Structure 1
Amino acid sequence: MILKAYNPPHIRKRDSNRSMMDDVLIVLIALYLMAFYYYGPRALLLGLHAAGVSIVCDLVCKLLLRQKLSLRDHSSLVTALLLPLLLPASVDYAVVAVAVAFALVVVKYPFGGVGHNLFNPAAGGFAFVAICFPKAVFSYPVPLEALNAFGSFTGRLVTSASYTLKAGGVPTGGDFLSMLLGNTPGPMGATNVLVVCACLLYLVVRGSVHWQMPLCFLGTCALWAGLFPRAPIPGGASVIYELFSGCLIMGAVFMLTDPVTSPKRASACVVYAVFAGVITMLFRRFGGFEESFAFSLLLCNALAPIFDYLDELFYRAVRRGRFVPAKNKKA
């Protein structure tokens, strides 16, 4: 038997961790440009602020753990830039700092840093500030209205389509085209569904993301929304409202596909994605928050090793012939 050693434990191809992170950084920049179009300079400043906080947290954690600093590791920067995109453009800078610090100092580094964390850091950071600052996290500015670049936001804030669905109502903030292009209140990087889908296509072509997981996850959510709509609307409209509201598609592209916190076997990833879709829709219906993807993902992260274990048991049984028909066994 010839064993070949590759780079970090979550890298199962010849691709390096840096190349994967660089691909994600490129598409995140595209999302920030769209956020800048709708919300102005404040969107870019939130991203720069998050990046600065991540650098400080990285330095402190590396020093405490006596690890060497590496310019090739962009994982913390990716987490930091992702978090403001999951939040409203009106969010206070302090809330962003808390989210990034919690994601890195509490969720990532205590488990060993890149390649070893048990939970998705961005999901952990978002969940923490959602619990601590729900009003700041779930109140959104209206797109194309002027936002002050510095300080606390003092303008008009509204609720999102996710809140309306959670209350059992029919969203009226815009038509489907507006939701597709991001011209509706919501997280500043997640509402532009068209751009997020383009990001997914780029990552799939580059090989940084496997298409099976987001497709199975979103397909499960769409099927659930069609069969069990939360509002008195036709199933097709319910599917569009569910998929286009909140962080569902954004989370499927950038967080669910995290190779560190998802199962390692391909077939286990498919079952994991379907399970995550069911849990997410249950959280959306019965959970306490209008946007609950991060909470459901953290639960699924904790169960990810079980999917690999059960998958291995199944294939081991197949190899031993336990699931082979009797006629084939005699042959």
Structure 2
Amino acid sequence: MNRSVLLLTVFFFVAAAGEESRSAADDKGVVSGAVVGVSVERVGEQLLAWLRQAGVDAERVEAAGVVWRQGAMAADLSAEEALDLLLASLSAADAETAALVRACHAGQPPLSQQYTGAKQEPFYRDNVRVWHARTLVQQRYYDEACLLLADISVEGLVDPAALLFYRGISRLKLLQKSGAADDLTLLLNSTADVPARFRAVAEQMQAESAKPAGSLGEVPQLMSDVQRRLDLGAADEPVQKREDQIVAALDKLLKELEDQQKQQQQQQQQQGQGGNAQQPQQSGGQAQVRGAAGAGEAERKELNENGAWGMLNKEREAQAK
């Protein structure tokens, strides 16, 4: 056996002892049937097997082993940190992986990554895609992230929570609410070791995904998506499609408002007609004071000029004059 590969094998064996005890303790709190990421021990074994399968030379195998050894010594390595460590180790052994990592860290536009030969193996392909999609989502490239994550299963991943979280975000941002709801439900209810920040955001997104499709609340999301695409320099067919959806949604809203207004007017007219039908028909000549027995006709009185002043007696009337 090559000396470098032998050293790397020995390291993985030694690291496994510590990881096994940590893994056993962690698994005690894991609900049966929950989605659990691959342990650091197992990732190390898979890394070694993949380096062999890919035919990586001894020098680069040793370089990858150094990176892995230094990172795996940390206690309580999270799944997110383990995925970062895996990509760093792969970058030390593979030039294309290193170029991808550099481009993502530099915030460059999405690269077209080819998965041929040993890179078609799920261990390499799926874990690299999850890491790549994570950086794409952070840069708001939701379409590209969705394509990378579309057909990946949670099985055999270093960080399955990252798959469900970032795929759920991408789908929700693209208004694929049904798929987003599935990812978020699996993340919140059936995945172990979900980071607190993932859980908090996922709960909010789950409430958003429950809103019915085609509602007025989608208009701000559509407008935000158009602005995002323009910010990223994408004035292409998807942008025009979103703009058409916005116009259609606003037209639908206006139609609903018009129908509602017409319905209210019809109800008011019906109420008015019903009120007129219930009022008694009375002619002006038959007007009658409430409580009076007569027909409401005033009695004529002849006025005289006797000078009487109402209720005053003669003496006071004389004083007043």
Q: Is the TM value for this pair above 0.5?
A: no
**TM-score by structure 1 length?**
0.32
| Larger relative helix fraction | 2
**TM-score by structure 2 length?**
0.33
Asked which structure has the greater RCO (Cα within 8 Å, sep 6+), the reply is 1
